[in-house]
């Protein structure tokens, strides 16, 4: 059983909002998930919903199970998501 954290890093820039997906943890599947992130059509995403959809797609693609979910808003009122995953 492998454990990973998948989260997005929301930030505001002069060109608008950006949501970068990051994978954290020591797992044999980490490199495969990072490669899948790089292959996303719109990464970094410019919309919170697009970032969330991409993250859920990555979870499904790699047959990971969600063990914990955290949803928060940053000081700039941007949505931040974090998933603790096992697979």
Torsion, CA 27, CA 1, CA 83, CA 7, rounded to 10: 10
d(C-alpha 66, C-alpha 73), whole Å? 20
Token digits of residue 2: 């492998």
Phi, psi angles (nearest 5°) of residue 41: -65, -40
For the entire predicted model, the pTM comes to 0.91
Q: What is the mean pLDDT of residues 61-83?
A: 96
15, pLDDT greater than 90:
no
Instruction: Tell me which residue of 37, 19, 21 sits closest to 29, measured CA to CA.
Output: 37
For residue 18, the enclosing domain spans 3-86
d(C-alpha 51, C-alpha 30), whole Å? 18
pLDDT number for residue 18: 94
pLDDT number for residue 61: 96
* pLDDT tens digits, one per residue of 16-62: 899 999 999 998 899 999 999 999 988 899 999 999 999 999 999 99
How many folded domains does the chain comprise? 1
């Amino acid at each position: 059983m492998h454990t990973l954290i998948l989260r997005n890093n929301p930030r505001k820039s002069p060109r608008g909002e950006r949501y970068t997906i990051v994978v954290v943890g020591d797992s044999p599947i980490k490199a495969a998930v990072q490669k899948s992130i790089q292959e996303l059509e719109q990464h970094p995403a410019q919309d919170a919903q697009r970032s969330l959809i991409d993250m859920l797609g990555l979870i499904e693609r790699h047959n990971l199970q969600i063990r914990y979910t955290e949803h928060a808003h940053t000081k700039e009122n941007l949505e931040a998501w974090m998933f603790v995953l096992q697979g």
